[in-house]
Amino acid sequence: MQSGLRRVAALLAVAAMALAAWAGPAGAASSVPTATEPAPPRPHLHACDLGMPRPFRCGHIMVPRLRSDPALGQTKVAFAIRHRRDTSRPSLGTIFAMDGGPGYASTAKPYAASLIAALGPILRRRDLVLYDMRGTGLSDPIDCPALQGGLIQEPIAIGECASQLGPAYAGYTSGEAAEDMDQLRRALGLHKIFFYGDSYGTFFGQAYAARHARSLRGLILDSAYPGNDPYYRTLEPAGLHGLRIACRDSETCGGDPVARLTRVVHAFHREGRATDPLIGFLLEAGTLAPRSYLSLDEADRKFLAGEPRRLNQLLAPELGGEKLTEYSNGLAIAVECNDYKLLWNPYSSFQQRVAELSNAVTKLPRRYTAPFTRREYILSSAARLTPCLYWPAPPTGGFSSPPIPSAWRAPTSFPTLVTSGEVDDVTSVREAHEVAARFPRSKLYVVPDRGHVSSLYFPFRSPEVGVIRRFITSH
């Protein structure tokens, strides 16, 4: 394990030197603004085309790049409002919504269209605000070309992206973004709001609740993520569980799909073939589950029968990066590295980080990576355990506050709906239980035979859609 990490470290020396040369902004972070401050000026709204049948009105506010360091200037936070259809009667409230990732734009057409389909009739008397987190979509998206386009090895591109951002890198946190959204809420003259977040948006929703619980009328955490395990231990076992469930419920899949996958992994080992694409497909299969699990098992069957073409097609890399208007890879890595728990001390040197990571992963039981070896799983790009090795340390004094304070529990002033797909391995059912425990007035709904954020991927078929609608209308 340690020798493997050293080989990666040598290969990525450029990123290591960039990290060693980095100096973050000095000074401890100051406290964030309080709700007693004067309301910010109302933003100017203008007609905008998000590709939807009904028009939106867009606007933006300006916020500090880093509230503890005004010298870094400001950045734009944009949004789009879809006003309620029925204006003959009083409004039933406003729903703020943010896509996950992190990095996905809420104002992008795919997200907006799916969310509107999922919410459906409840928008007749409710306004919808699509909030683009700083660094995404219309909110001054972070554009690190090498990282965004996948032009060079990701860790090197990450080091270059940090250098490009300069001291402003420290401003891309869930805490700062939560303050942005509350500033927007006040600028729009709103009191209490519903917030809907999916995937990473659920982590952000918890960060917002920890800071502005009095501003919430209700909270919807769709495919909830607690952000408390640097190993992401629940994910690979959840993928194997999802594979079994999908096969069990299919008329065309018999036997043990995990045993077949294990035989494929062993065949890859004998052939000296990299398993990283296989790990990546498994850990993302929860997105379009259960169909994706069945596709993997079908390909495994053919591979074991001497027909590798289907599996090769499934595992072939996608060419090119995503559109910056829809996804910022720079914002994604900034939030991951600034906010999520790591397997090393973020103030350590690059060499120390590698040693600390190597020591940490030797403590990870084999059952969390089987049928893959511990080494190949840890070093895989899909496991997301190594990219932040090349990210700068937090500013001196740390960030203003952790995204979700340790042992934090929500007040009882608002209800929370927590959901998880039964066969989701992007965010697991176990993680949803951990999130629900933070909210005394929470209801946990496990979506039968569905994967990640089924409300958005299948807004006309997922039973989760009805649960979300009933939650909002009942509060």
Q: What is the mean pLDDT of the chain?
A: 90
282 membership: H or E segment, kind and range: helix 276-284
- Per-residue pLDDT band for 28 (boundaries 50, 70, 90) equals very low
Torsion over CA: 453, 388, 178, 207 (sign): positive
- pLDDT tens per residue across span 372-395: 999 899 888 888 888 999 999 998
Quick one: average pLDDT of 400-412?
Answer: 91
The domain made up of 1-21+45-251+325-475 has a fold known as Rossmann fold (3.40.50)
Quick one: average pLDDT of 208-216?
Answer: 97
Quick one: average pLDDT of 130-145?
Answer: 97
- In 3D space, the residue among 325, 437, 291 whose CA is nearest the CA of residue 99 turns out to be 325
- pLDDT tens per residue across span 139-154: 999 999 999 988 788 8
Task: Compare 4 and 123 and report the one with higher pLDDT.
Answer: 123
Asked if pLDDT for residue 257 goes beyond 90, the answer is yes
pLDDT the model gives residue 36: 57
- In 3D space, the residue among 79, 72, 64, 78 whose CA is nearest the CA of residue 32 turns out to be 64
DSSP assignment, residue 194? Answer: E
Beta bridge mates, 121 = none
Q: Map out the domains of the chain as residue ranges.
A: 1-21+45-251+325-475, 252-315
Among left, alpha and beta (phi > 0; psi -120 to 50; other), residue 306 is left
Task: Give SS3 for 104.
Answer: strand
pLDDT the model gives residue 37: 67
Beta bridge mates, 443 = 417
Quick one: average pLDDT of 28-55?
Answer: 73
Residue whose tokens read 């000026």:
41
pLDDT the model gives residue 398: 76
Asked if pLDDT for residue 463 goes beyond 80, the answer is yes
Torsion over CA: 259, 261, 264, 265 (sign): negative
